[in-house]
Amino acid sequence: MKTNLYAKYLLADRIQKAAEKCGTTIATFNIRESTGSYHQDLTVFLDSFHRGKGEEREIIADKMLTALPFLTLARSKGSIDLKGSTAQGLTVCIYAGDGVCERVQVGTRKIAATEAFTVPASEAREEPIYEVRCIDSLADAVSA
């Protein structure tokens, strides 16, 4: 779908105003003339991406989700990503930085012993399996 570049600038302005109301600023806007393989028309890095603590980023992300209802929360290894599509078909990805996450051991796996003729030989052992878990304050508020 070919979209008007002016519509993308209007969306960028709308996001800028929402960010200011949420108490943050935009560090970087990237408006693409055609989406191609990037899959979004507008990429935004909030100032909180480079500054602030995880708790502050969580609060800003919650406010942005309220201010721009077409956005949804997507987490990737602790990173707070706000993604969405407008009624006009413009796609947006807003990066807020890392949230409040912790590395948790969720299990172990058995590692088999290696043969004596391999260098270096090793005995069978168990190795921990870790997972990154993030506190989702928005999900907690919805489920309460």
Q: pLDDT for 56-85, tens place per residue? A: 888 888 889 999 999 998 887 778 889 998
Q: pLDDT for 19-48, tens place per residue? A: 999 888 888 888 887 655 557 888 888 887
Q: pLDDT for 79-119, tens place per residue? A: 888 999 898 888 899 888 887 766 778 888 888 877 666 66
- Give the span between the Cα atoms of 56 and 90, in whole angstroms: 28
Per-domain boundaries in the chain = 5-100, 102-134
Label residue 141 by pLDDT band (50, 70, 90): very low
What predicted TM-score, i.e. pTM, was given to this entire model?
Answer: 0.66
User: Which CATH number is associated with domain 5-100?
Assistant: 3.30.460
CA dihedral 119, 123, 126, 130 (to 10 degrees): -10
